[in-house]
């Protein structure tokens, strides 16, 4: 590495050693075989502002436009929780964040101008991050920015910025498929950016990064990979990076061992919770939700939902191709034990799941049944959800269904629900 480069690192209080460690962590996050920390280091030196070579147009920073649509701003907030690189480094040394409604210094006309200039100056070269859902109701008047219906069908400021981007990153579940904004009855006509673009004949590549909000580590890894290597991660059928959305929460859960042992939490705040038992019985959607929360964790890796005692509510499970399949309607009621498990487009009862698919989940469900039996919590054969009423529940007055259920609800009713095959 060149001396001037080292010097510029040192001016930021970063040693060469720490820098290489950081590059290693980026390489790991990107997860491409053959890409090492050294490659990342070289790419940074080539391209980023802290380096000495390279160049993009007049400045060296890669332009990024961040569009906020129908959202709660939680994904911008989440972005501010990134580290490695932290947001200050990103906006000072990596990217030119030319338009962000939350972070930009400019306001009003000056801000709009900045976005338009970016489109003009870097057609096909900037990365567009979309936060929030496209709000289509009233011909796009459900969301107006700067005097225009932002998401109008056909030509619109949004379509314009999508069309000219090198790539569109849908950050967070709302941008992927409408998210919570699209939950029944979808009052604002929310949908994801991929569907909006497809409906309007724009085919800029889309990378979908669900979860609510977007996990900053995942988002930053994708941006950095694109900026440094010029590539997008390998995507699955949902246009989600396989490396981050390839395995279920359940696959990598820290409480998995308890699941295998049939050790479950049956009441919040109980001794079992204090011991960190499995939250499956409290409605955890981990077995059907594909995301990397358990490994990448949240907020600079201090925790994640299950670590804190919250069952997974499946905020990553959406389908960008369908408006109405948002994660809320897919998973609610959140605290009800799953009667069905959804794997991709398959929707099956746990027993057939165990029979029809192979691999860890199936094995786990079988082990689970055995574990439950060994723990004396079930009678006869069967796993967690194909028993009409759990022995443990009967003894402790817990009815099937909502984990926080009133004790008065008759167990028979719950059993009847099961035999009717009621939804969730």
Partner 1 sequence: MAKHSIIDPVDRIEGHLRIEMEVKDGVVSEAWVSGGLFRGLELILEGREPTDAALIAERICGVCPISHCHTSVYAAEEAYGIKHPNGARIVRNLAEGAQFMHSHILWFYQLSALDYVNPLHALEADPKAATEFALANGLGVRDFGAVQKRLQKFAENGQYSWLSGGWFLEGQAPEAYKLPAEVDLIATAHYIEALDMQATADEIAALIGGKMPHIQTSIPGGTSFVPSVEKLDDILDRARQLHEWVGEVMIPDAIAIAKVYLKDVAGIGNNKHGNFMAFGVFDRESRELTDRYFPAGIVRMAGGTGAPVLEKYDGSKMTEETTHAYYADDGKPLHPMDGVTVPPEKFPGYYKDEANEVVNDKYTWSKAPRYLNDATGKREPMEVGPLARVLVSYMSGNPEIIDGVNTVLKGVGLPISAASISALNSALGRLAARPIEAYAVSGYMQDWCHELVEVLKNPGDANPWFAKRVRDDGAGEGFWEAPRGALYHCETIKGNKITHYQAIVPTTWNISPRDVDDVPGTIEQGLIGVPIDNIEAPINALRVVHGYDPCVACAIHIVEPKTGHEFKTHMSPWGGR
Q: How far is the CB of 376 from partner 1 (least distance, A)?
A: 23
Angle between helices 37-47 and 16-30 (to 10 degrees): 110
CB 130 within 8 A of CB 48: no
CA dihedral 327, 332, 334, 335 (to 10 degrees): -160
Q: For partner 1, give the closer residue by CB, 39 or 267.
A: 267
Q: For partner 1, give the closer residue by CB, 189 or 383.
A: 189
Q: How far is the CB of 320 from partner 1 (least distance, A)?
A: 19
CA gap 61, 15 in Å, rounded: 22
Place of tokens 């499995």: 278
Would you call the peptide bond into 356 cis, given omega within 30 degrees of 0 as the criterion?
A: no
CA gap 216, 75 in Å, rounded: 8
Q: For partner 1, give the closer residue by CB, 35 or 64.
A: 64
Q: What is the DSSP letter of 232?
A: P
Q: For partner 1, give the closer residue by CB, 113 or 379.
A: 113
Q: How far is the CB of 342 from partner 1 (least distance, A)?
A: 18
- Greatest extent of the chain over all pairs of C-alpha atoms, in Å: 76
CA gap 396, 324 in Å, rounded: 38
Q: For partner 1, give the closer residue by CB, 41 or 174.
A: 174
CB 98 within 8 A of CB 64: yes
Residues β-bridged to residue 336 = 402
Q: How far is the CB of 300 from partner 1 (least distance, A)?
A: 6
CA gap 93, 47 in Å, rounded: 10
Q: For partner 1, give the closer residue by CB, 34 or 410.
A: 410
Q: How far is the CB of 388 from partner 1 (least distance, A)?
A: 21
Q: What is the DSSP letter of 94?
A: I
Taking the CA of residue 228 as centre, how many other CA atoms within 13 Å lie in the half-sphere pointing to its CB? 29
Q: How far is the CB of 51 from partner 1 (least distance, A)?
A: 10
Q: How far is the CB of 179 from partner 1 (least distance, A)?
A: 8
How many beta carbons lie within 10 A of that of residue 93, not counting itself?
Answer: 17
Q: How far is the CB of 168 from partner 1 (least distance, A)?
A: 20
Secondary structure (3-state) at 336: strand
Q: For partner 1, give the closer residue by CB, 211 or 378.
A: 211
Q: What is the DSSP letter of 68?
A: E
Q: For partner 1, give the closer residue by CB, 16 or 300.
A: 300
């Amino acid at each position: 590495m060149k001396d001037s480069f080292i010097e510029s690192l040192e001016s930021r209080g970063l040693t060469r050693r720490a820098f290489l460690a950081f590059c290693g962590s980026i390489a790991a996050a990107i997860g491409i075989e053959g890409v090492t920390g050294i490659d990342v280091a070289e790419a940074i030196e080539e391209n980023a502002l802290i380096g000495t070579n390279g160049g993009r147009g007049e400045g060296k920073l890669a332009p990024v436009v961040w569009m906020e649509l129908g959202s709660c701003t939680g994904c911008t907030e989440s972005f501010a929780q990134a580290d490695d690189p932290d947001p200050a480094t990103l906006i000072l040394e990596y990217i030119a964040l030319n338009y962000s409604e939350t972070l930009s210094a400019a306001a009003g006309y000056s801000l709009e101008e900045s976005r338009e200039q970016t489109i003009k100056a870097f057609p096909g070269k900037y990365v567009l991050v979309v936060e929030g859902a496209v709000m289509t109701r009233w011909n796009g008047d459900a969301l107006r920015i700067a005097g225009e219906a932002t998401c109008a069908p056909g030509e619109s400021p949004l379509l314009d910025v999508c069309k000219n981007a090198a790539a569109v990153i849908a950050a967070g579940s709302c941008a992927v498929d409408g998210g919570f904004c699209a939950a029944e009855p979808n009052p604002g006509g929310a949908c994801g950016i991929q569907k909006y673009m497809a409906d309007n004949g724009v085919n800029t590549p889309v990378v979908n990064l669900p979860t609510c909000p977007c996990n900053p580590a995942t988002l930053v890894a994708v941006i950095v990979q694109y900026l440094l290597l010029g590539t997008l991660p390998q995507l699955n059928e949902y246009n989600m990076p396989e490396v981050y959305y390839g395995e279920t929460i359940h696959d990598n859960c820290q409480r998995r061992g308890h699941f295998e042992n049939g050790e479950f939490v049956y009441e919040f705040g109980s001794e079992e919770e204090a011991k960190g038992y499995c939250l499956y019985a409290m409605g955890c959607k981990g077995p059907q939700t594909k995301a990397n929360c358990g490994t990448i964790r949240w907020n600079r890796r201090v925790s994640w939902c299950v670590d804190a005692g919250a069952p997974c509510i499946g905020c990553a499970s959406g389908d960008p191709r369908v408006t109405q399949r948002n994660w809320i309607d897919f998973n609610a009621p959140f605290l009800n034990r799953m009667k069905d498990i959804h794997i991709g487009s398959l929707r099956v009862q746990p027993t057939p799941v165990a029979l029809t698919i192979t691999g860890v989940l199936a094995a786990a469900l079988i082990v689970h049944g055995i574990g439950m039996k060994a723990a004396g919590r079930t009678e006869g054969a069967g796993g967690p959800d194909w028993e009409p009423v759990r022995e443990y529940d009967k003894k402790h007055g817990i009815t099937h269904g909502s984990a926080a259920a009133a004790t008065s609800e008759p167990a028979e009713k719950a059993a009847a629900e099961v035999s009717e095959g009621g939804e969730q």
